[in-house]
Amino acid sequence: MKNRINIIHGDITKVAVDAIVNAANSSLLGGSGVDGAIHRIGGKQILEECQKIRAKQGGCSVGNAVITRAGNLPARYVIHTVGPRWGGGKQNEAELLRYCYLNSLTLAYDNNVSTISFPNISTGVYKFPKEYAAEIALQTINESLSNDSTIKQVNIVCYDIDNYNIYNKMIQNL
């Protein structure tokens, strides 16, 4: 399935797709990093829809995902997922990160998304080791694509060059 996975070095808010995945926090109200960029460029539609979700279900737990429209971003949807904060590796971080990818892809399938971009969830403010996170991301995406054909392209958009180099190397062995 690796021919459907595309590694990009750049800014996720600039790549046109059906759905952009956001590395959010449980409040769903925005933050720094990729979350800050998505809310800043997407505008108030995203925040308003996140507030509605909060009113209904009280935010989003770690490993889960919710979907909103994408405001001014070049996409139809934003899928907000909450990655685990790295706490040394014994707090189920790997499984929770895997669930971020799986639950985001499930929402994508349910909404007929055919192109989707992921950032490197949890590898910024949340300090998940980059190599380990890349291994989990690539394996989970690859497995999921092999069970479904509605998604035609998954972009992994790496903002920092370290992540870009890690993914480029790792995808050869997939």
Which residues are near ligand AR6 by CB under 6 A? 11-13, 23-25, 31-35, 37, 83, 119-126, 157, 159-160, 163
Count the helix, strand and coil residues of the chain and give each as a percent rounded to the nearest 5.
Answer: 45, 20, 35
User: Which residues fall within 8 angstroms of residue 3, CB to CB, at 6 or more apart?
Assistant: none
- If the CB atoms of residues 42 and 105 are measured against ligand AR6, the closer one turns out to be 42
Measured CA to CA, the distance from residue 42 to residue 138 in angstroms comes to 27
User: Least distance (Å) from ligand AR6 to the CB of residue 148?
Assistant: 24
User: Least distance (Å) from ligand AR6 to the CB of residue 50?
Assistant: 11
Q: Which of 35, 110, 160, 162 is catalytic?
A: 35
User: Least distance (Å) from ligand AR6 to the CB of residue 65?
Assistant: 13
User: Least distance (Å) from ligand AR6 to the CB of residue 160?
Assistant: 4
CB 136 within 8 A of CB 51: no
Start-to-end CA distance of the chain, whole Å, equals 9
Residue position matching structure tokens 């992994």 = 156
Active site residue 35: yes
Helix 44-57 vs helix 33-42: crossing angle, to nearest 10: 110
- If the CB atoms of residues 17 and 37 are measured against ligand AR6, the closer one turns out to be 37
- If the CB atoms of residues 60 and 157 are measured against ligand AR6, the closer one turns out to be 157
- If the CB atoms of residues 38 and 107 are measured against ligand AR6, the closer one turns out to be 38
Identify residue 169 by its one-letter amino acid code: K
Active site residues: 35
